[in-house]
Amino acid sequence: MKDLLQYLRDYKKECVLGPFFKLLEAVFDLIVPAVTAAIIDKGIANRDEKMILGYGGILLLLAAVGLICSITAQYFAAKAATGFAAKLRYALFRHVESLSFTEMDEVGTSTLITRMTSDVNQLQSGVNMALRLFLRSPFIVLGAMIMAFTYDVRIAFIFVVAIILLSVVIFGIMAICTPLYKKVQGILDQVLQSTRENLTGVRVIRAFRREDEEEEEYQEKTGLLMGAQIFVGRISALTNTLTYVIVNGALVLLLWRGGLRIQAGSLYQGQIVALVNYLSQILVELVKLANTIVLTNKSLASAERIVGVFEMRSSLEEAAGENFLEKNISEQKIRVVFDHASLCYKGALEASVRNVNLVVKKGETIGIIGGTGSGKTSLVSLIPRFYDATEGKVLVDGVDVREQSVEGLRRKIGIVMQKAVLFKGTIRENLLWGNENATEEELIEALKISQAWEFVEKKEKGLDSFVEQGGRNLSGGQRQRLSIARALVRKPEILIFDDSTSALDYATDAKLRRGLKHLSYRPVIFMVSQRTSSIRHADQILVLEDGRVLDIGTHEELLARSKEYQEIHESQFKNVGEEEKKHA
């Protein structure tokens, strides 16, 4: 938690003024019973209307000033808490953005989202409550007890015993319920997981007629949650019962002893009323303090989870020194080299890429093919440093990628991911991710090469047509073509297609390949594909199996000597029609 307090530095004034005005409000609250006692003992007892009105005005003034102090305290506390949360959320997001894919895989996207939303919100509420009540509640309890001693020492001991008993009950029940609430939260997580799985997999559940089994399993989990909530609810419900028993017992004792003191002339009726009010204030503030402590404990747990994310360090080390973009290497013929490169994911038992050696020259097209899980995506992920090679090295323009700045390296690369990802906005805004300074002509040229212009120009607003989040209002093939266009807008020196033409038909795929072949800037192209038709015209084709390169060669060479490549090719072209063969 100490590490996170730095985000409150800009709100030192608010952190002081918030509790200060809350303490002022508490002072006025403690004065109210004393003024009420004066009205009863001096005004009403003496039938002095002037005094009654005067003290009544003082009560109204105290209420107004107390309200102003309360609103002011709430304003400063809320400003500090929301500002703290905003700075923390920004810092957390910025840190997450610096993490490599290794850390992303280890933690999980859903966990990181929870840290930046739910946990930060929980921490914001904790800061807000702490600034408002952590000083006020103990101050009220202590102040009420002191005020009781100013009236009568003997009766004040009733307050001491009541405070001790109330504290034991409230904080004892809180100590019992806190771990139980955590257990309930864990069961709730299981229910939410089951709910998510059933909603996202509803088509599969219905296809396999598993509705009854899933309903039964869900009913079992919700029943377990209900039982746990009822159990902890019953224990928690004892709080009100026991506190009211203690307070009412103290009240009876107070009235009994107070009556005797009034009869003896040591106390007045108004003073007893004031003591009753102080007793009620103590009860309310102890309950508030207990709730504040519960919320604080939750906030501290959230703080630990957030600190855990901050403590994570990216496994990619930024290169210090000259940015390789500024080096005069544009005329080199060798673009990419894999030198005994291997990759083993963190926690994996076996390497996903093993001892790959490859030399790629400027303008060459490299095809990569293999079965599912053969390491195709892992191999091309080494080039932009999504992951670092665990053995060997990868060189771009003669320089080890680990010795280059990540930003500079990735400016040279255009990549189309295996899963097409588009963002909410217009087609133009999505394409400008590739190059924010691209002209209208460059955008249209990229769309034409990617074969996306044929559907974009038919839209009413063309490039300014709206794209929903994730491209939900587009087909799979349209999303892929726009993703390809976005990469082409950058005009990169290295272009990576990670099985990004799988949703395209043979004719569109063939047109795309012809367009790529005539690019004026002649990039190195890595084409990962499951179809031999997409890579048959590549200068070199890598056949992968279990992360190893089984063979390298052209399409004709591999058909002549590679059994694995022959099997893949024949399985795809054995039953295809003449139209597909022509386009292939």
Mean pLDDT computed over every residue of the chain: 86
Fold for 1-151+295-312, please state it: ABC transporter transmembrane region fold (1.20.1560)
Per domain, the residue ranges of the chain are 1-151+295-312, 153-266, 321-411+526-584
Note whether 483 and 416 are within 8 A (CB).
Answer: yes
Neighbours of 10 (CB within 10 A): 12
- HEC string of 407-434? HHHHHCEEEECCCCCCCCEEHHHHHCCC
The Cα 188–Cα 191 span in angstroms is 5
Is pLDDT larger for residue 432 or for residue 258?
A: 432
Q: Where are the alpha helices (DSSP H) in 99-152?
A: 101-107, 109-114, 120-133, 136-151
- pLDDT higher for 286 or 57? 57
- Tell me the C-alpha distance between 466 and 454, whole Å: 16
Residues 519-530: pLDDT tens digits? 888 899 999 988
Q: Residue 370: which residues within 8 A CB-CB, separation 6 or more? A: 376, 542, 543, 544, 545, 564
Judge whether residue 415 has pLDDT over 50. yes
Whether residue 136 contacts residue 26, with contact meaning beta carbons closer than 8 Å, is answered with yes
> Is there a contact between 255 and 171 (Cβ–Cβ < 8 Å)?
no
CB 282 within 8 A of CB 140: yes
- Of residues 112 and 217, more confidently modeled: 217
Instruction: Count CB atoms within 10 A of the CB of residue 148.
Output: 24
Confidence band (pLDDT; 50, 70, 90) for 448?
very high
Going from the C-alpha of 456 to that of each of 465, 469, 509, 516, 567, the distances in angstroms are 8, 17, 18, 19, 38
- Give the pLDDT of residue 216: 93
SS3 117: helix
Sign of CA dihedral 122, 128, 129, 135: positive
Do residues 406 and 316 touch, judged by C-beta distance below 8 A? yes
Mean pLDDT, to the nearest integer, of 191-203? 84
Number of other residues whose CB lies within 10 A of the CB of residue 472 = 10
* Helix (H) or strand (E) run with residue 396 in it: strand 391-396
Would you say domain 321-411+526-584 falls under CATH 3.40.50.720? Answer: no
Contact 555, 538 (CB under 8 A): yes
The pLDDT tens digits for 133-166 are: 888 888 998 888 888 888 888 888 888 888 888 8
Write the pLDDT tens digit of every residue in 214-257.
999 999 999 998 998 899 888 878 877 888 888 888 888 888 88
Amino acid code (one letter) for 278: Y
- Three-point CA angle 398, 403, 405, nearest 5°: 105
Comparing 113-117, 134-138, 318-322, 446-450, which segment has the lowest mean pLDDT?
Answer: 318-322
> Do strands 353-361 and 365-370 pair parallel, antiparallel, or not at all (unpaired)?
unpaired
Alpha-carbon distance of 504 to 542, in angstroms, equals: 22
Q: Is the pLDDT of residue 75 over 50?
A: yes
pLDDT digits (tens, 9 = 90+) for 547-560: 899 999 999 999 99
Predicted TM-score (pTM) of this structure = 0.73
Write the CA distances from 525 to 429, 494, 537, 561, integer angstroms.
Answer: 25, 6, 12, 24
Q: Per-residue confidence at 20, pLDDT binned at 50, 70, 90? A: very high
Q: What's the one-letter identity of residue 49?
A: E
Cβ–Cβ under 8 Å, residues 531 and 582 = no
Confidence (pLDDT) at 272: 86
Identity at 129, one-letter amino acid code: M
Q: What digits encode the pLDDT tens for the residues 320-365?
A: 544 433 443 444 567 899 999 999 988 888 899 999 999 999 889 9
User: Does the pLDDT value for residue 293 go beyond 60?
Assistant: yes
Amino acid identity at 239: T
Cβ 137 vs Cβ 284: under 8 Å: no
